[in-house]
Structure 1
Amino acid sequence: MFRILLTILCLLVTALPALASGGGEIQDLTGTVTGIFALILFVAAYVLVIMEEQLHLRKSKPVIVAAGIIWVLVALSYQALGKPDHAHGAILHNLTEYAELFLFLLAAMTYINALEERNAFRALRSWLVNKGYTLRTVFWLTGLLAFFISPVADNLTTALLMGAVAMAVGGNNTKFVVVACINIVVAANAGGAFSPFGDITTLMVWQKGKVQFFEFFSIFIPSVINWIIPAVCMSLAVSKEKPTVSDEAVSMKLGARRIMALFLLTIVTAVSFHNFLNLPPAVGMMLGLGYLSFFSYWLKTVEHRQLSGDNPLDMTGHQHASFDLFRKIAKAEWDTLLFFYGVILCVGGLGQFGYLAVTSNFMYNGLGHTTANVLVGLLSAVIDNIPVMFAVLTMDPQMSHGQWLLVTLTAGVGGSLLSIGSAAGVALMGSARGVYTFGAHLKWSWAIALGYAASIAAHLLLNGKYFTH
């Protein structure tokens, strides 16, 4: 209950006041009945999101409902002010934001699902388990791989993959599994912070044009520090014993390596679209999805198989042995994609009631840019970092490049402070249920906090040139 009340308070202070531009002049409606009701509605919806595990209610459902009702309130409020077209223009701006994010993630998720079907991740897991490394070596390897895989994949997929390796190696050694899972969460979040592809927040910052693609790598060293300090502390608690080696051997299916190459080509395409053509990266990602679609056709031809049914979008439950691109699309994280829709429209609707100016003034004028951006990271440990970062981007405070890099770093790694602060942590709590818990993670929060503080200090020291413009 205390965490829920704290979350509501944080939302009232920061994440709510958000969004949208593009619909004309925004009126101050924060004190109206509709404005207050919209705020309460979003808080209630987000409490249900936080209680997803307890209620077994998917997180997308409450925010989708709240988004629809909030925009009804926005439309009614502006109609009463004699501006019937205001809500239409404002919501189109938010829908454009969502469409870019949706298409980008859909293409990325489809590639990840294709690699999973081709046994790419299972083969990596099998290779690590069969090597016969000591527990301490596995601790460092899973953390290192999580750090370098998450910038290309995402922190959720990376955490689940490396977590499976740690649990397979650790077996009944709960002490090892706990520290290995914490290490993986911290590494995956830190690795995702210096890449536009590693986390939703970094993707949003990149698509908004606040930080260019190659500028993200300037926070590589702070990200390494964020992971390495708690990793060193936790490694002292890991023994050097050798676990039992598994006899399981998994090979990648035909085409796995070529799909990896196509994924890298897709990333290059998306970056080129953004940097050289000034086109949305999502368009480049969809072109990359086209690469995969033609490769899937070749793959089915080589395997001498045919789809069952006449319709490639057939979802009737027939068993398909061949590589079917549309089924990889169907296996995307639709709950997550719809959750983003709800969050973006909820926060965008609240922005139309006038919370933006008040919060922006409080955080970035009252507290100062550095303090406010450090606070964003701390809030990300309690609240999901997506609405927090989306609020910051829409408030669009006038900050130096160094401050935009700072908030990108803190929002990405701040979620590691608590197990509930990131998708990676929540996912591992589910897969290692009863072993990796909120309380177990909390015991090492002091070490993670040391890494968090050190990474901020490293950024301020190493990237001082970015704070001058």
Structure 2
Amino acid sequence: MLPVSIHYLLIVFAALALLGVIFEDVIHLDKAKVTLFFGTLSWLFLFIFQSGVDADAVKEQFSESLTEISQLWLFLIAAMTFVAYLNKKGMIQNMIYWILPRKMSERRLVYLTGIFCFCFSSLADNITATLVSVTLIMSLNLPRRKMIRLAALVVFAVNSGGVALITGDVTTLMIFLAGKVSVVDLLILSIPAGFSVLVLSMLLSRQMHGTIQLQYRPSAARGVDVAIAVIFLSTILLTIIGNAIYGIPPVLTFLAGLALMFLVSHAFDREKEEDPILDYIRLIEFDTLLFFLGVLLLVGMLKEIGVLNGLLTVYQILPVEWANLAMGIMSSVIDNVPLTAALLKSGIDMSEGQWLMLTYAVGVGGSLLIIGSAAGIVAMSKIGGLTFGRYLRQLIPLCFAYGIGYLGTMAVANWWIS
């Protein structure tokens, strides 16, 4: 049995790690170092102060956490390598040139960004969608203030699109596999989710008054670059199909796509000696991976000591609809995957419509804070100057759009289910 003093000390470790992330730009200490330190320290304390049967439970829980972390790491390495290669070869900039008009207002850019992120993340996973979307907006060389506003839209739109299909978000897939909602329910959910993105786009575009003139001209694409771009898009598509039909883990499909990328490059790229494709793995920002590692270690620890289960008391205090909303707000601080897992295992009795509300709440609620979702963490790692505090300045429009989306979900769920 874990001593009570150690139990509370572990909670303090998690709180200190969170404060380290929040005040990163004040203490000038990288968030990856803070979360990794407290994440590993927490598990060391668990192993030291647990005994007997409890020690075996700790080992089992640590192995489960490590498995989840390793899958995330491998997936990120594969996705980031694709994006790093295509970005350096100019393929992503070419895509901008093909999709966007040569001249447009910044307000139009905001709406196009929201629509693109929402649609793309419904098909691809949130991390891939964020990587591609952030790379797109960074290439426009906007002022930092406007870039952060667009980044907030990207995070919200990516998470909103992710709840619309089982391929877009892990928590949506978990709730679907548990038999709580159907595919048709999720398609209906895309209506209020998409509307909330438009609402946020309208709010964020109010201070965007300039005009953008795209100066970029598409570079000549080599055959091998086009082939790798096709492999990347095919990998995303096959990930969706393979997971939906055969239950293939997304990480396996992406690793297969990465391996195929290496083989194609070796066979057709005559410049491989000057620009080895394996070098692109070195372009990955491993600070991001270490940050994920620290965060997931902390979340696994909180799950092990039962803190996440204690959150379920909210349903004993509030009506189910508002408890679901509270869970969504909590997901901006606590990872939504273990939070959803705890809710699914708790035996809470909810209607199909109420489960649909929870799907939206935990899927989009993480957008309220930059640390609340994988999309936010990826965006923070890629965009210079995007800190917790600067993202927090967008909290009012984010909360308003989130509230509109949740109320819309309640209305649609009551209309559709009834």
Task: Give the TM-score of the pair, scaled to structure 1.
Answer: 0.72
1:253-292 matches, cutoff 5 A: 253-292=222-261
* Distance (whole Å) between structure 1 residues aligned to residue 28 and residue 70 of structure 2: 28
* Distance (whole Å) between structure 2 residues aligned to residue 85 and residue 439 of structure 1: 41
Find the counterpart in structure 2 of residue 160 from structure 1: 134
Deviation readout 1:357-387 (Å, 9 max, x if unpaired): 4333x13444354323211322344x2x5x2
Find the counterpart in structure 2 of residue 63 from structure 1: 35
Q: Structure 2 vs 1, CA of residues 335 and 373 (structure 1 numbering), >3 Å: closer, same or farther?
A: farther
Q: Structure 2 vs 1, CA of residues 217 and 75 (structure 1 numbering), >3 Å: closer, same or farther?
A: same
Percent identity, aligned pairs only, is: 22
* Distance (whole Å) between structure 1 residues aligned to residue 370 and residue 55 of structure 2: 45
CA contact (8 A) 1:159 1:185 kept: no
Q: CA RMSD in A?
A: 3.8
- Confirm or deny that 1:134 pairs with 2:105: yes
Deviation readout 1:308-349 (Å, 9 max, x if unpaired): xxxxxxxxxxxx435x0x223333342232323222222222
Find the counterpart in structure 2 of residue 206 from structure 1: 173
Q: Give the residue type in structure 1 aligned to 2:130.
A: L
Q: Structure 2 vs 1, CA of residues 297 and 88 (structure 1 numbering), >3 Å: closer, same or farther?
A: same
Find the counterpart in structure 2 of residue 350 from structure 1: 302
Find the counterpart in structure 2 of residue 305 from structure 1: 271
Residue 397 (structure 1) aligned to one of 336, 346, 349: 346
CA contact (8 A) 2:106 2:211 kept: yes
Q: State the shift of 1:228 in Å.
A: 1.4
Q: Give the residue type in structure 2 aligned to 1:321.
A: D
Per mean C-alpha deviation after superposition, the further-off stretch among 37-46 and 115-124 is 115-124
Q: Give the residue type in structure 2 aligned to 1:260.
A: A
SS at match of 2:50: helix
Q: Give the residue type in structure 2 aligned to 1:50.
A: I
Q: Structure 2 vs 1, CA of residues 437 and 167 (structure 1 numbering), >3 Å: closer, same or farther?
A: farther
Find the counterpart in structure 2 of residue 16 from structure 1: none
- Confirm or deny that 1:229 pairs with 2:180: no
Per mean C-alpha deviation after superposition, the further-off stretch among 204-213 and 64-73 is 204-213
Richer in helix (by share): 2
Find the counterpart in structure 1 of residue 65 from structure 2: 94
- Confirm or deny that 1:441 pairs with 2:410: no
Find the counterpart in structure 1 of residue 157 from structure 2: 187
Q: Structure 2 vs 1, CA of residues 335 and 397 (structure 1 numbering), >3 Å: closer, same or farther?
A: farther
Q: State the shift of 1:462 in Å.
A: 5.6
* Distance (whole Å) between structure 2 residues aligned to residue 366 and residue 446 of structure 1: 23
CA contact (8 A) 2:78 2:258 kept: yes
CA contact (8 A) 2:14 2:38 kept: yes
* Distance (whole Å) between structure 2 residues aligned to residue 332 and residue 398 of structure 1: 41
SS at match of 1:57: coil
SS at match of 1:255: helix
Task: Give the TM-score of the pair, scaled to structure 2.
Answer: 0.79
Deviation readout 1:98-124 (Å, 9 max, x if unpaired): 233333333222222232233222123
Q: Structure 2 vs 1, CA of residues 220 and 187 (structure 1 numbering), >3 Å: closer, same or farther?
A: same
* Distance (whole Å) between structure 2 residues aligned to residue 178 and residue 75 of structure 1: 41
* Distance (whole Å) between structure 2 residues aligned to residue 35 and residue 105 of structure 1: 32
- Confirm or deny that 1:453 pairs with 2:406: yes
Q: Structure 2 vs 1, CA of residues 462 and 419 (structure 1 numbering), >3 Å: closer, same or farther?
A: farther
CA contact (8 A) 1:146 1:188 kept: yes
Q: Structure 2 vs 1, CA of residues 256 and 141 (structure 1 numbering), >3 Å: closer, same or farther?
A: farther
Per mean C-alpha deviation after superposition, the further-off stretch among 47-56 and 211-220 is 211-220
Q: Structure 2 vs 1, CA of residues 129 and 391 (structure 1 numbering), >3 Å: closer, same or farther?
A: closer
Q: Give the residue type in structure 2 aligned to 1:102.
A: W
Find the counterpart in structure 2 of residue 334 from structure 1: 286
CA contact (8 A) 1:413 1:452 kept: no
Q: Give the residue type in structure 2 aligned to 1:188.
A: V
Q: State the shift of 1:227 in Å.
A: 0.5
Residue 311 (structure 2) aligned to one of 326, 347, 359: 359
Deviation readout 1:245-271 (Å, 9 max, x if unpaired): 536444444334433332333234434
Q: Give the residue type in structure 1 aligned to 2:259.
A: G
* Distance (whole Å) between structure 2 residues aligned to residue 347 and residue 433 of structure 1: 24
- Count the aligned residue pairs: 406
Q: Structure 2 vs 1, CA of residues 458 and 56 (structure 1 numbering), >3 Å: closer, same or farther?
A: farther
* Distance (whole Å) between structure 2 residues aligned to residue 95 and residue 433 of structure 1: 29
Q: State the shift of 1:144 in Å.
A: 2.1
SS at match of 1:133: strand
* Distance (whole Å) between structure 2 residues aligned to residue 366 and residue 397 of structure 1: 16
* Gapped regions of structure 2 (runs ≥ 5): none
* Distance (whole Å) between structure 1 residues aligned to residue 38 and residue 287 of structure 2: 15
Tell me which structure has the larger Cα radius of gyration. 1
* Distance (whole Å) between structure 2 residues aligned to residue 293 and residue 116 of structure 1: 17
Q: Structure 2 vs 1, CA of residues 429 and 70 (structure 1 numbering), >3 Å: closer, same or farther?
A: closer
* Distance (whole Å) between structure 2 residues aligned to residue 453 and residue 83 of structure 1: 40
Per mean C-alpha deviation after superposition, the further-off stretch among 225-234 and 202-211 is 202-211
CA contact (8 A) 2:356 2:413 kept: no
Q: State the shift of 1:96 in Å.
A: 2.1
Q: Give the residue type in structure 1 aligned to 2:138.
A: A
Q: Give the residue type in structure 1 aligned to 2:291.
A: F
* Gapped regions of structure 1 (runs ≥ 5): 1-26, 308-319
Find the counterpart in structure 1 of residue 275 from structure 2: 321
CA contact (8 A) 1:100 1:280 kept: no
* Distance (whole Å) between structure 2 residues aligned to residue 421 and residue 93 of structure 1: 22
Q: State the shift of 1:224 in Å.
A: 0.5
